[in-house]
Amino acid sequence: MNDSRDLILGRIRERLGRSPANVAPAQTAMDVALAAKSAGPRPRTDADLVAAFRARSEALASTVDQVACLADVPRAVAAYLAEHKLPARAVCVPDLAGLDWRGAGVEVEARGAIDHDLVGITGCFRAIAETGTLMLCTGRATPATVSLLPETHIAVVPATAIVDGMEEAWSAARSEFGQMPRAVNFISGPSRTGDIEQTIVLGAHGPYRVHVVIAHGQ
């Protein structure tokens, strides 16, 4: 690319004492590490993933609701919006546009979000019990802006998508996508800042509220 590349890499090789003799074993060790993908020390796995995910989400200042099946989600969302005096209007990732939103009285538009959207509804690729985190992957039907620009983010989490930790989520992404999506966003509660006097304020640049709806069945 530029000359500096060769100069920098040359300098590194010189410092490390790289030689034709030691490059092959180092390459092999590297390939082994890349193939093994071994995990470091991890906390204990939770017996009840849904309960653990819920408790830790709430600890991150998210709110959590549970419904029996995916078809019940629009009504639960409508109730949440009404309770928080939010308009029954939302932008929704195209992925979830098939649910019966109209039947629940929620007007959704399936598209990427713009500045003025107040409510964004997304699904999630996986959810992580260890920390109460949502894992969203971008794609044609899952734009990144919907979980970012609106003041309220509502995430639909199928109970089957809840896994122990990030490691399980990575393996799932590898097998499902083959290569990593453009953006994998791990979201853990509403956006926050502690920059002024280390006082935590919710709603820095992203959503003020994150509401999670866990759907137990299909």
Partner 1 sequence: MHFKARAVAQLADAGVQSNLKKAKGKFVDKRRDAIAEFLAQGGDFEALREAGMELRNRVLADLDLWLEKFEVNATARGAKVLWARDGAEACRLIVDIAKRHGVKKATKSKSMLSEEAGLNQALEAAGIQPVETDLGEYILQINDNEPPSHIIAPVVHKSKEEIADLFARVHKKPRLTDIGEMTREAREVLRSHFLSADMGISGGNFLVAETGSVALVTNEGNGRMVTTVPKVHVVITGIEKVIPTLEDLSLLLRLLIRSATGQPISNYVSLLTGMKGEGDLDGPENMYFVLVDNGRSDLLASEFNDMLRCIRCGACMNHCPVYQTIGGHAYGWVYPGPMGSVLTPLYMGMENALDLPHAATLCNQCGVVCPVKIPLPDLLRTLREKQVEKKLRPLSERLALKAWAWVATRPALYALGTKFAVRYLNWLAGGGKSIAVLGAAPEWTAGRDFPAPQGRTFREMYARRKRS
Task: Give residues 141-180 in contact with partner 1 (rule: CB under 8 A).
Answer: 143-145, 148, 165-167, 170, 179-180
Beta carbons of 125 and 135 less than 8 angstroms apart: yes
Tokens of 82: 């009404």
Cα angle 117, 121, 62 (rounded to 5 degrees) comes to 100
Residue 40 or residue 218: which is nearer to partner 1 going by CB? 40
Residue 117 and residue 91: Cα distance in Å, rounded?
7
Residue 37 or residue 84: which is nearer to partner 1 going by CB? 37
Closest CB 144 distance from partner 1, rounded Å = 5
Q: Is 21 in the site for partner 1 (CB under 8 A)?
A: no
| Contact region with partner 1 (CB under 8 A), list: 63-71, 78-86, 119-127, 132-140 | 132-140
194: phi then psi, degrees, rounded to nearest 5: -125, 20
Closest CB 181 distance from partner 1, rounded Å = 7
Residue 136 and residue 181: Cα distance in Å, rounded?
10
Beta carbons of 126 and 172 less than 8 angstroms apart: yes
Q: Is 195 in the site for partner 1 (CB under 8 A)?
A: yes
Q: Is 197 in the site for partner 1 (CB under 8 A)?
A: yes
Closest CB 47 distance from partner 1, rounded Å = 12
- Tell me whether residue 199 is exposed, middle or buried, using C-beta atoms within 10 angstroms of its C-beta: 0 to 12, 13 to 18, 19 or more: exposed
Q: What is the DSSP string of 147-166?
A: GTSSSEEEEEEEGGGEESSH
Q: Which of 74, 123, 150, 189 binds partner 1 (CB under 8 A)?
A: 189
| Contact region with partner 1 (CB under 8 A), list: 3-11, 64-72, 73-81, 118-126 | 3-11
Closest CB 107 distance from partner 1, rounded Å = 20
Residue 16 or residue 69: which is nearer to partner 1 going by CB? 16
Q: Is 2 in the site for partner 1 (CB under 8 A)?
A: yes
Q: Which of 20, 41, 98, 178 binds partner 1 (CB under 8 A)?
A: 41
Beta carbons of 59 and 187 less than 8 angstroms apart: no
Identify the CA nearest to 60 among candidates 207, 184, 198, 190.
190
Q: Is 17 in the site for partner 1 (CB under 8 A)?
A: yes
Closest CB 68 distance from partner 1, rounded Å = 29
